[in-house]
Amino acid sequence: MFVLKRLGSALPTLFAVSLLVFLFVDLIPGDPAQILAGPTASNEEIESIRKFLGLNEPLLTRYGQFLRGIWDPSAATSFRTHRPVVVELSERLPNTLIVSIGGLALGLVVGTIAGIVCAMRPGGLADAAITVLTLAGISMPIYWLGLLCIWLFAVNLGWLPAAGASTPAHFVLPILVIATRPAAMFSRLVATSLLETMGKDYLDTARAKGLSETRVVLFHALRNSLIAAVSVAGVQFGGMLGGSVVTETVFGIPGVGRLLVDAVSRADYPVIQYAILMFAFFFVVINLVTDLLTQWLDPRTRDQERAI
């Protein structure tokens, strides 16, 4: 029931998102064909660009054409390379996913451990150190940290390659750098929600059984805290995808983010549209999945669903 309801709310969102992305070209002030063609273009040139973009067709036809481009390679081609947009995107997607998922996973693990350490000894030395590091992690511009890491590990020490995506070693630095933010967010989240859980009676019930403090925290408290954390992980993953725009530029990784930046600076509208649509689609689906996962992980809500 909840699944259906949640799907029911995701579908209109997806529709609105696709409509917004589709209308993107129409939102550009002035005539996009004119802008693309440049100030010196002749009327014929502008007309041919209008035709290429399909701007002369009625709106509904164009929207249908736009949706068809999602699966039909011939329906949408890049303005600059004249290759199908779908192909351009799918070639680069794996690189983006490797960095995003790798960074998120590393960030989650490090952040959760740091959060537990903070919550076990609030006010201790480790807590203070982690709190400072967390603030630094949130405040650090990823692109600057990336540059510093390239300088230290690639240029000075020569341990890792500076740019590209040809070997697994190329992904180490980007993943390390991109993991700082989710790690910082998660250590805060886990620490706060653990401290909140720490006052609960059921932990005293567990302690009275004679369980060790480690087991009480890891088995009883953390389990409850992590349910709340799952939904944040979803939002973080979306953030990582968005962050790929910057990371891929810093580390010269041929991914979707880099493609989008290039497309924006070259006004390659079809690529911009489909790249944004893809990011948004991922984001909506991830939020959907984490919502369902949170629901399922908590037996209380899981049963409500069954009961309805």
Three-state SS for 52? helix
The structure tokens listed for 157 are 């020490």
Q: Which is nearer to other proteins, 75 or 288 (CB)?
A: 288
Q: What are phi and psi of 171, to 5 degrees?
A: -90, -10
- Restricted to residues 153-192, the positions that interact with other proteins (CB under 8 A) are 155, 162, 181-182, 185, 188-189, 192
Pick out residues in 79-138 that bind other proteins (CB under 8 A).
121-124, 135-136, 138
Which residues within the stretch 3-62 sit at the binding site for other proteins (CB under 8 A)? 9, 12-14, 16-17, 20, 24, 27-29
Which residue's CB is nearer to other proteins, number 52 or number 143? 143
Footprint (CB under 8 A) of other proteins, residues 238-277: 238-239, 241-243, 245-246, 249-250, 260-261, 263-265, 267, 272, 276
| CB distance 138 to 184 below 8 Å | yes
Ordered alpha helix ranges (H), the chain = 2-27, 32-37, 43-53, 59-68, 85-120, 125-139, 142-149, 172-178, 180-198, 201-208, 213-215, 222-250, 256-265, 269-297, 299-307
Q: Which of 46, 267 has the CB closer to other proteins?
A: 267
For other proteins, the closer of residues 98 and 256 by Cβ is: 256
Of 127, 115, 126, 131, the closest CA to residue 191 belongs to 115
Nearer to other proteins by C-beta: 98 or 226?
226
In this chain, which of 2, 143, 153, 296 binds other proteins, going by CB under 8 A? Answer: 143
Shortest CB 192 distance to other proteins, Å: 7
CB of 15 to other proteins, least distance (A): 9
Residues 117, 140, 292, 293: which binds other proteins (CB under 8 A)? 140
Size of the site for other proteins (CB under 8 A): 85
In 3D space, the residue among 138, 118, 140, 119 whose CA is nearest the CA of residue 129 turns out to be 118
Q: Based on CB atoms, which residue is closest to other proteins, 73 or 154?
A: 154
| Out of 227, 230, 289, 293, the residue judged to bind other proteins by CB under 8 A | 227
State the minimum distance, in angstroms, from the CB of residue 272 to other proteins: 6
> C-beta of 287: minimal distance to other proteins in Å?
8
Q: Which is nearer to other proteins, 105 or 261 (CB)?
A: 261
Region of residue 84 (phi > 0: left; psi between -120 and 50: alpha; otherwise: beta): beta
> Binding to other proteins by residue 66, rule CB under 8 A?
no
Question: Alpha-carbon distance 32 to 17, whole Å?
Answer: 21
Give the number of other CB atoms < 10 A from CB of residue 166.
Answer: 8
The Cα 150–Cα 36 span in angstroms is: 36
